[in-house]
Structure 1
Amino acid sequence: MTSRKHVVYWHDTESVVPSPPLREDTGCDVAIVGGGYTGLWTACFLKEAEPDLDICIVEAKHCGYGASGRADGFVTPTIGKDIQALVKEFGTERARAASQAVGRSILEIGRFLRRNGIDAEYEASDYLMVATDQAQLRRLREDRELAGLIAGRDQPELLNAAQAQAVIGSPALLGAIRTGGALVNPFKLARGLARVVKERGVTVYENTPVLRVVPGAHPVVVTPGGRVTADKVVIAANAQQFTFAPFRDRTVPVWSYALVSEPLTDEQRGRIAWPGREGMVEAKTFLTCARFTADNRLLWAGGPALYFFGRDLRKRRMNDPRAYRQLHTCFQRFFPMWQDVRFAYAYGGAIDITRDYAPHFGSLPAGNVFYGYGFNGNGIAATHTGGKVLRDLMLGRDTEYARLLYVDDRHRMARRFPPEPLLSVGAQVTTRMLERKEARL
């Protein structure tokens, strides 16, 4: 059997020459902590709106190293994790406005890539939300009704087993809903976006971990090599958001895992009907998903989201054998005809989870430190929308983006998680409760 590389497949698709790290004290108008999608889109939209702004991005590794460059590459209209919870909390109209904004972002990302000559392997393709048991079929029906309500148009068609298997020939499929979206190489998207913001005059310091942000009239971003004093700061650290004191108990990092195969042969590819190369996502909280890469590999990802005591983000957690065993067992259930497919890559990465499974944007009480986090593993399109939210909040604009349900006020902040050891125990209990709930749907 081919040995697996415990490195992120996407990171092997493009070489990186990092920007120099910060080595002295400096100042700017806006300092952004985090070189993932949220920070990069925010810098991009701020520069478009106010070209004279002096903006710098401070990134611990290199842009796209973290969750942005480890994503599975599904560009979807998903907001957070649970459409039913969003409608219940915010109502149909606000959920519709947010959904439509994220839907526009899918198209706008494609245009951005074409306009700036970024080959991020963008495929404008629907994806299938699929059901493999009766509980998931019931969830599909419920989500279908809500999707039609939010979109303000007819409900999407619910495909039966034969129709679903004609699109993706897995014998496990009992039904599916076709949803608009796209596929992308997430790392090439992040690296291309970083190139564009640098060309527009944004200073990017890579290999520069942030130790802390000191509040004040002019907040200070403290790093090992120097300090950045700014008029405004954005903290957009995704899975690392909890390392900053105001967010310590408002988000937790959980690990998601992926397997990527060797390139499939024509004979292997011909064993299964999958003519449109659509992505596939299972209709459950701890979902599995599948897609083809540009070089004809199969990506198989998801499974249980693992939380490690003390918010453990050490690199060795990427190699947890439990996750890969469960992923491979599930893969064999979906695709028994591919027993000889060998997985060349096995890797993981942490995502940020909030208690309401929804994103949060806003500013801390002083009004000059802003934040954006909480994409719950569904951030490629939503971070693009979030960059516009942060732009308008920082520039004091009263726009549709500044009024989206994303935006916190004094009545809505991300609810706190309990401290350890209750957090670890609660994560296990919540996982079991969600699994039982989905089985009863």
Structure 2
Amino acid sequence: MGCALTSQGHYARLSLWHEAPDRSWTPRAPLPGDREADVAIVGGGFTGLWTAYYLARADPSLRIVVLEAEVAGFGASGRNGGWCSALFPASADRLATVSAAGRDGAIALHEAMRDTVDEVGRVAAAESIACDYAKGGTLVVARSATQLQTARAEVEHARSWGRGEDQLRLLDGPAARQRLAAEGTLGATFTPDCAALHPARLVRGLAETVERLGVSIHEQTRVQAIEPGRAVTEHGVVRADVVVRATEGYTASLAGQRRAVAPVYSLVVATEPLPAETWEQIGLRERETFSDHRHLIIYGQRTADDRLVFGGRGAPYHYGSRTRPGFDHDETVHAAIRQTLVELFPVLHDARFTHAWGGALGVARDWMASVGLDRSTGLGWAGGYVGDGVATTNLAGRTLRDLVLGEDTELTRLPWVGHRSRRWEPEPLRWLGANAGLRAMTLADTEERVTGRPSLIARAMAPLLGGH
């Protein structure tokens, strides 16, 4: 969804990823008027396109229509950090409490997420989507005694859930620095369950793939309202037995949905391609994705063309759940992200930063991603990924396939299926609460630096942010 941009040139300048020369951003034709379909999907990002892909593969006779306000991959799907990971925004402990299956349900969802990382790679290979997929895993470094304590506790918690060394292990200082020589590294956690990829190449390749399978994609077609049996757009109405909402950070633009999902911005920078001698000092030889154990989230990857892409939170939530192109750039936050990266890797002090961008991700009120289909209305949905959507959207697409086809499968029994998050508070409470949460994570990092102990602020906030 989002704010209308009409030329291919505008779209190609949205992020580093959008500049991929092998991907066209010429908008497809808008909806020509009223039409009938079996399934209407609102949103041309990963959620919508994965859903269309798996439905078209399962039943080629289905009439599937994807409606997108801008172009497929305009939003978070095309401009994220490129982590295809097994991360899920809600903790295993939280999932066990919301699932009728309890602990078993939480374990099943974690295993499904692990398989999803591989599934994305399998489909990209099978459909010849060149998206620079490299499953190097994720390193989360500890750069203080407090962070190292956090890392140890995370591994111990994983063991309590039956997750062995093959899923998460603790690296000592030398082993961690061998993989990633971040300044001051004392240790790290490592999981193999993540792949780095080029998100815009994947989302545009997926759009081309579903078109070949007979799916209709109408871009430059803003959906104004979703109703049982109808997606109402500025160009006409699509009538369908099933209507799926796949709008994530832009959900508030739909009639009656302003408080369903809060858009929170994450900002990213990219360096120029770095020389081999610089990478020898940094590491990431297997294109591992990386972060550290601070509370205000950071994330990075080594791209296939040897750039360093690095992002983080810190940008404010905007009053009224607004999303605007101007919010993609915040020089204060971008400068802080660049400074953080140079602090991690002083060798980058003189490196040139070539790109800075951002985008809105979607946060449900309880920080719990969900997917579902209301059989009484035919309305389906998926979202609330809190920035962990590159893989989770694929799991959502496969789950929606089974729900639409009326099949009872292992996927449809996972604990996030059918979950209903309560609505966000009306303004100004929503603005106050969302920004207080962001501020609290900054203060938690400061608290740990000053006290040398795990943050009490973070502990107090954890239940509100999908934690234990």
User: Same fold, TM exceeding 0.5?
Assistant: yes
Q: What is the deviation of 1:88?
A: 5.3
Rounded to whole Å, the distance in 2 between the matches of 1:115 and 1:175 is: 38
Q: Which residue identity is paired with 2:312?
A: G
Match of 2:156 in 1: 145
Aligned length: 431
Match of 1:25 in 2: 34
Q: What is the deviation of 1:135?
A: 3.4
Match of 1:130 in 2: 141
Rounded to whole Å, the distance in 1 between the matches of 2:158 and 2:256 is: 35
Within a 5 Å distance, the mapping from 1:389-408 to structure 2 comes to 389-408=399-418
Match of 2:420 in 1: 413
1:51 to 60, 76, 89: 60
In structure 2, runs of 5+ residues without a counterpart are 1-11, 449-453, 456-468
Match of 1:167 in 2: 179
Within a 5 Å distance, the mapping from 1:230-269 to structure 2 comes to 230-245=240-255, 247-269=257-279
Aligned 8 A contact 1:256 1:306 in 2: no
Rounded to whole Å, the distance in 1 between the matches of 2:64 and 2:13 is: 35
Q: Per-residue displacement from partner, 1:20-70 (whole Å, max 9, x unpaired)?
A: 111211111100000111111111111122221110100111111111011
Rounded to whole Å, the distance in 2 between the matches of 1:363 and 1:113 is: 27
Corresponding residue SS for 1:377: coil
Rounded to whole Å, the distance in 1 between the matches of 2:59 and 2:284 is: 46
Q: Which residue identity is paired with 2:234?
A: P
Q: What is the deviation of 1:119?
A: 0.7
Rounded to whole Å, the distance in 2 between the matches of 1:26 and 1:114 is: 34
Within a 5 Å distance, the mapping from 1:307-346 to structure 2 comes to 307-346=317-356
Q: Per-residue displacement from partner, 1:164-204 (whole Å, max 9, x unpaired)?
A: 11111112322211112211100111011111111111111
Rounded to whole Å, the distance in 1 between the matches of 2:255 and 2:153 is: 39
Aligned 8 A contact 2:310 2:337 in 1: yes
Q: Which residue identity is paired with 1:17?
A: T
Corresponding residue SS for 1:304: coil
Match of 2:224 in 1: 211
Rounded to whole Å, the distance in 2 between the matches of 1:265 and 1:152 is: 38
Q: What is the deviation of 1:347?
A: 0.3
Q: Which residue identity is paired with 2:222?
A: P
Aligned 8 A contact 1:31 1:233 in 2: yes
Match of 2:433 in 1: 426
Rounded to whole Å, the distance in 1 between the matches of 2:70 and 2:162 is: 39
Rounded to whole Å, the distance in 1 between the matches of 2:160 and 2:377 is: 36
2:304 to 294, 297, 304: 294
Report the TM-score when normalising by structure 1.
0.92
365-374 vs 327-336, greater mean Cα deviation: 365-374
After superposition, the Cα gap between the structure-2 partners of 1:81 and 1:327, relative to the gap in structure 1 and judged at 3 Å, is farther
Aligned 8 A contact 1:22 1:226 in 2: yes
Rounded to whole Å, the distance in 2 between the matches of 1:402 and 1:198 is: 26
Q: Per-residue displacement from partner, 1:290-332 (whole Å, max 9, x unpaired)?
A: 2111111111111324211121211011121121121122112
Rounded to whole Å, the distance in 1 between the matches of 2:77 and 2:160 is: 31
Q: Give me the identity figure in percent.
A: 34
After superposition, the Cα gap between the structure-2 partners of 1:365 and 1:156, relative to the gap in structure 1 and judged at 3 Å, is closer
In structure 1, runs of 5+ residues without a counterpart are none
Rounded to whole Å, the distance in 1 between the matches of 2:260 and 2:205 is: 31
Q: What is the deviation of 1:125?
A: 1.2
Corresponding residue SS for 1:228: strand
Match of 1:385 in 2: 395
Match of 1:78 in 2: 87
Report the TM-score when normalising by structure 2.
0.87
Matched, 1:200 2:213: yes
Q: Which residue identity is paired with 1:78?
A: L
Corresponding residue SS for 1:271: helix
1:40 to 49, 52, 62: 49
Rounded to whole Å, the distance in 2 between the matches of 1:399 and 1:149 is: 27
Q: Per-residue displacement from partner, 1:210-246 (whole Å, max 9, x unpaired)?
A: 111233xxx2211122211111100100101233345
Rounded to whole Å, the distance in 1 between the matches of 2:117 and 2:305 is: 22
Corresponding residue SS for 1:407: coil
Rounded to whole Å, the distance in 1 between the matches of 2:170 and 2:96 is: 21
Matched, 1:104 2:88: no
53-62 vs 74-83, greater mean Cα deviation: 74-83
Rounded to whole Å, the distance in 1 between the matches of 2:422 and 2:162 is: 28
Q: What is the deviation of 1:139?
A: 2.7
Rounded to whole Å, the distance in 1 between the matches of 2:375 and 2:257 is: 13
After superposition, the Cα gap between the structure-2 partners of 1:76 and 1:37, relative to the gap in structure 1 and judged at 3 Å, is same
After superposition, the Cα gap between the structure-2 partners of 1:272 and 1:280, relative to the gap in structure 1 and judged at 3 Å, is same
Aligned 8 A contact 1:6 1:345 in 2: no
Rounded to whole Å, the distance in 2 between the matches of 1:89 and 1:134 is: 34
Rounded to whole Å, the distance in 1 between the matches of 2:435 and 2:232 is: 35
The list of structure 1 runs, each at least 4 consecutive aligned residues, that deviate by more than 6 angstroms after superposition, is none
Rounded to whole Å, the distance in 2 between the matches of 1:226 and 1:207 is: 12
Match of 2:466 in 1: none
Please provide the CA RMSD for this pair.
Answer: 2.0
